[in-house]
Amino acid sequence: MVILITGISSGFGCAMAQQLAADGHTVYGTVRRDVEQLPGVHYLRADVRDTTAVQAAVDAVVSVEGRIDVLVNNAGMGIGGPVEFAPEADVQLQMDTNFMGQVRFTQAVLPVMRRQGGGKILCFSSIGGLMGLPFQGFYSASKFAIEGFCEALQIEVRRHGIQVILIEPGDFATGFTAARIKQVSDEAAAAYPSLRQSVHSFEKDEQTGLKPAYLARKVAKIIRKKHPKFRYVIATFIQKLSIPLKRILPARLFVKVLSLFYSVK
């Protein structure tokens, strides 16, 4: 299969590119800067925030391969801190990268998949797309947007044989943690006394989380499935448990549980 992955410079993207190339697929991946290249992977320079660059990347793959069987919308970033103190520019960056980046690549790939009579589009959401995470409100908002986008998209494109799949990871040890843009100033910490402890708590969980190679193997299996599910939560047992808990617990009680888990007082 011909597979296009966004954001393969590190983390999930790099692990998936390596795994899928090893499995014998033809793998293309986008990067924003020069990186050490994996053997057997074709690199494309594109920023998901640049519509022209996105279209050029898709056209480059099609010009060589004639098709794109799988799009993996992986590229993303995160901001952290209280909603009150998030600069508008950071919020726009969050939404433009995580949500609009997936929209741009999906819109560019859909005509290709319609012409060829099918394909798979994997969109990376998060556990944070299923529940609002404290001090990651705008990250959650970007992932909630992806959830709604994909719920609608799967219905629209199924007549064309195109499958839409949501990937919802929990905590993983990647460079995402160090790259997060955080607002933890003295002013913010004074207004929200548990801010720094909460950020330390969820970043520690990420740093000691599952390894990207584990997710890459899961994604490789999903891509091989003829009839994949719409949603796949890839996380620890405790994090998976939080999803049914949100459905069955009274809202007020679930908020208390989530506050305790994220050290918010």
Q: Which domains does the chain have, with CATH numbers?
A: 2-237 (3.40.50.720)
User: Is residue 139 flagged as an active site residue?
Assistant: yes
User: Is residue 143 flagged as an active site residue?
Assistant: yes
Across the beta sheet with 119-124, the strand order is: 41-45, 26-31, 2-5, 70-73, 119-124, 162-169, 231-234
User: pTM of whole model > 0.75?
Assistant: yes
Whether 54 shows a pLDDT value over 90: the answer reads yes
Whether 141 shows a pLDDT value over 90: the answer reads yes
Report whether 15 contacts 215 (CB < 8 A). yes
The catalytic position among 120, 126, 142, 143 is 143
Report whether 253 contacts 141 (CB < 8 A). no
Percent share of the chain, pLDDT over 90: 92
Q: Which of 122, 124, 104 is nearest to 57 (CA)?
A: 104
The per-residue pLDDT for 145 is 98
The catalytic position among 120, 126, 139, 192 is 139
Measure Cα distances from 29 to 44, 54, 118 in Å. Answer: 6, 12, 20
The catalytic position among 28, 120, 125, 198 is 125
pLDDT tens digits along 208-217: 889 999 999 9
Cβ partners under 8 Å of residue 124, min gap 6:
12, 72, 73, 74, 76, 102, 146, 167, 169
**pLDDT band at 265, cuts 50/70/90?**
confident
Q: What kind and span of H or E run contains 185?
A: none
Report whether 19 contacts 216 (CB < 8 A). yes
Whether 29 shows a pLDDT value over 90: the answer reads yes
Q: What kind and span of H or E run contains 30?
A: strand 26-31
pLDDT tens digits along 145-171: 999 999 999 999 999 999 999 999 999
Cα–Cα distance measured from residue 26 to residue 183, given in angstroms and rounded to the nearest whole number: 40
Whether 21 shows a pLDDT value over 90: the answer reads yes
The per-residue pLDDT for 4 is 98
Cα–Cα distance measured from residue 202 to residue 55, given in angstroms and rounded to the nearest whole number: 36
